[in-house]
Amino acid sequence: MSGFLTLGKLPNFKVKRMKGDRVTFVLLGGTGDLARKKLLPSLFNLYKKGKLDEFDLIGTSREDLSDEEYIGEVSTALEEGREWEKFRENIRYLQLDFYNSEDYGKLRSHFLECGDHRLFYLATLPDHFDVITDNLNKRDLVNDSSKVLYEKPFGDDLQTARNLNQCVSELFPEEKIYRIDHYLDKELVGDLSILRFSNSIVEPLLTSNSVNHVQIIASEDFGVKDRGEFYDRYGAVKDFFQSHLLQLLSLVGMSRPKKLDARSIRDKKVEVLKEVKILDSMTGQYRGYRGEKGVKDDSKTETLVAVKAHLDNRRWNGVPFYLLSGKNLARKYSEIYVEFERPDAGYPAEVGNLVPNSLVVSIQPDQGIYFEINTKVPGKMSTEPAKMQFCHSCHHGPNTPSAYENLLAQAIAGDQRSFVRYDEIEEQWKVVSRLNPSEPVTYRRGKVPSELKKFITEGSWHGLEG
């Protein structure tokens, strides 16, 4: 199968391994939220599906835990199945402070019993990434078969991202570095380039000749939960806009690469990111945010960001792209909505209002793709909108692999196509540095602030009630 077809997912993959190649996962931040909610369940799923037979898992944190206590913690994060008893035999715990170089030495003795294929997953705040990288290198833990996985955000801003990248790339070659944006491993994001480049009816439509505007939305119906301290440092711009929204924008906006391989696609994405011209932006903060645990009393951190941008190229000449991410809105969903120019069919008034055609890629929780068209109501000379729909979960069932399952499997297989290259990250931070939003407006939970309604001058936010 070509690189193109598997971008963002590995259909029916079996993790590629050499004989006797036992994988060792070192989960640096093995007690954190991400580990509990995503990484441990994903590893267990891979194991249950028979895609990971031989492995060791070493979880680390500063807590003083025995192996048994850690295994107990892991079990609470998983839906135990009959495979649990075998899975648990491979789990170890190591108390390790990122800033104590001696602690890394203890990993060496653990490695004596493990295979050489090591995956170091930095499941912790980016503040610690450089010191961890440095210590892994000093202690000579990253061997030829190792990979180092960096969670997002990669840096706090353009300068810190550059510093971090300099540190990382001085110590490790690019083929060992895996920068994560888990959105790229969502099934429907993986489908985007297939939808565009393998369907000759779709690609010609996606230009300024036919498109009125594009919306890219990642809306959540909950607040910061127990991640207030983390969130208050980053906010919607750094947590979502800088990574997920700009990655989606680059996948929608890029022109067709000459070759449909990972390198050419990334090159095209970088081109688009360089062309992003910010026209307007606004931010919001939900009422009650300052009372959340871990949030400062006088916090000005935004929990919502909306951006209007153009892509400075001929293909998208003058087409507005609206990007929105927000917490505590009415619905939890992520989608790409492409609205085509309004039809001017010249029908008599009784036909009623024709809707503009649209193409929608639903990323979550619904997964699918549909076109909205105008159709005739039987027996009447009037119209109603109808969906021409591909429902992904109806077709493939609900148990397609999660984004983190996909990305862990790809990292094990040494497949970097769904990981982010540094120049993409650099351009993403440059876009962020061009944003100049005013102070956040306050909005009520579950409500769309009037400023956000007015922000979009072409129609309204698709699917966002409240």
Ligand X SMILES: NC(=O)c1ccc[n+]([C@@H]2O[C@H](COP(=O)([O-])OP(=O)(O)OC[C@H]3O[C@@H](n4cnc5c(N)ncnc54)[C@H](OP(=O)(O)O)[C@@H]3O)[C@@H](O)[C@H]2O)c1
Looking at the annotation, which residues are catalytic? 244
Instruction: Give least dist CB 354 to ligand X, A.
Output: 41
Assess 98 for contact with ligand X (CB under 6 A). Answer: yes
Assess 439 for contact with ligand X (CB under 6 A). Answer: no
Contact between 237 and 347 under an 8 Å Cβ cutoff? The reply is no
Residues 255-314 that bind ligand X (CB under 6 A): none
Instruction: Give least dist CB 243 to ligand X, A.
Output: 9
**Interface pick for ligand X out of 62, 138, 277, 287 (rule CB under 6 A):** 62
**Interface pick for ligand X out of 77, 125, 158, 441 (rule CB under 6 A):** 125
Assess 61 for contact with ligand X (CB under 6 A). Answer: yes
Using omega within 30 degrees of 0 as the cis cutoff, is the peptide bond preceding 153 cis?
A: yes
Spatial distance between the Cα atoms of 465 and 458, rounded to a whole number of angstroms: 16
Assess 113 for contact with ligand X (CB under 6 A). Answer: no
**Interface pick for ligand X out of 42, 45, 124, 416 (rule CB under 6 A):** 124
Nearer to ligand X among residue 104 and residue 286 (C-beta): 104
Instruction: Give least dist CB 92 to ligand X, A.
Output: 15
Residues 129-188 that bind ligand X (CB under 6 A): 151-152
Nearer to ligand X among residue 234 and residue 286 (C-beta): 234
Instruction: Give least dist CB 99 to ligand X, A.
Output: 6
Which one of 90-98, 205-213, 251-259, 368-376 is the stretch in contact with ligand X (CB under 6 A)?
Answer: 90-98
Across 261-320, the runs of DSSP E, i.e. the strands, are 276-286, 304-311
Which one of 29-37, 165-173, 290-298, 434-442 is the stretch in contact with ligand X (CB under 6 A)?
Answer: 29-37
Smallest Cα–Cα separation from 444: which of 291, 285, 319? 285
Assess 254 for contact with ligand X (CB under 6 A). Answer: no
Helix (H, G, I), strand (E, B) or coil at 376: strand
Smallest Cα–Cα separation from 336: which of 213, 180, 242? 213
Across 77-171, the runs of DSSP E, i.e. the strands, are 91-95, 117-122, 147-150
Cβ neighbour number for residue 34 with a 10 Å cutoff = 18
Assess 97 for contact with ligand X (CB under 6 A). Answer: yes
Spatial distance between the Cα atoms of 262 and 264, rounded to a whole number of angstroms: 6
Instruction: Give least dist CB 152 to ligand X, A.
Output: 6
Collect all residues with Cβ–Cβ distance below 8 Å to 140 and sequence separation of at least 6: none
Which one of 121-129, 359-367, 389-397, 409-417 is the stretch in contact with ligand X (CB under 6 A)?
Answer: 121-129
**Interface pick for ligand X out of 25, 65, 87, 126 (rule CB under 6 A):** 126
Spatial distance between the Cα atoms of 327 and 316, rounded to a whole number of angstroms: 29
Assess 63 for contact with ligand X (CB under 6 A). Answer: yes
The DSSP code for 296 is -
Spatial distance between the Cα atoms of 461 and 212, rounded to a whole number of angstroms: 14
Instruction: Give least dist CB 127 to ligand X, A.
Output: 8
Residues 183-242 that bind ligand X (CB under 6 A): 227, 230
DSSP string, 157-216: SHHHHHHHHHHHHHHS-GGGEEE--GGGGSHHHHHHHHHHHS-TTTGGGSSTTTEEEEEE
Nearer to ligand X among residue 180 and residue 306 (C-beta): 180
Collect all residues with Cβ–Cβ distance below 8 Å to 26 and sequence separation of at least 6: 58, 60, 107, 118, 119, 120, 121
The DSSP code for 225 is T
Label residue 272 exposed, middle or buried (CB < 10 Å: 0-12, 13-18, 19+).
buried
Assess 31 for contact with ligand X (CB under 6 A). Answer: yes
In the sheet that holds 304-311, the strands lie side by side as 383-391, 368-376, 358-364, 333-340, 211-219, 321-326, 304-311, 276-286, 441-443
Instruction: Give least dist CB 156 to ligand X, A.
Output: 11
Q: Token digits for 136?
A: 């892994």
Instruction: Give least dist CB 419 to ligand X, A.
Output: 14
Q: Token digits for 297?
A: 């009393």
Collect all residues with Cβ–Cβ distance below 8 Å to 176 and sequence separation of at least 6: 142, 146, 147, 148
Assess 123 for contact with ligand X (CB under 6 A). Answer: yes
Which one of 124-132, 138-146, 210-218, 438-446 is the stretch in contact with ligand X (CB under 6 A)?
Answer: 124-132
Total number of residues that touch ligand X (CB under 6 A): 22
Nearer to ligand X among residue 30 and residue 284 (C-beta): 30
Which one of 92-100, 163-171, 374-382, 448-456 is the stretch in contact with ligand X (CB under 6 A)?
Answer: 92-100
Which one of 95-103, 168-176, 183-191, 442-450 is the stretch in contact with ligand X (CB under 6 A)?
Answer: 95-103
**Interface pick for ligand X out of 14, 16, 33, 444 (rule CB under 6 A):** 33
The residue ranges that bind ligand X (CB under 6 A) are 29-34, 37, 61-63, 96-99, 123-126, 151-152, 227, 230
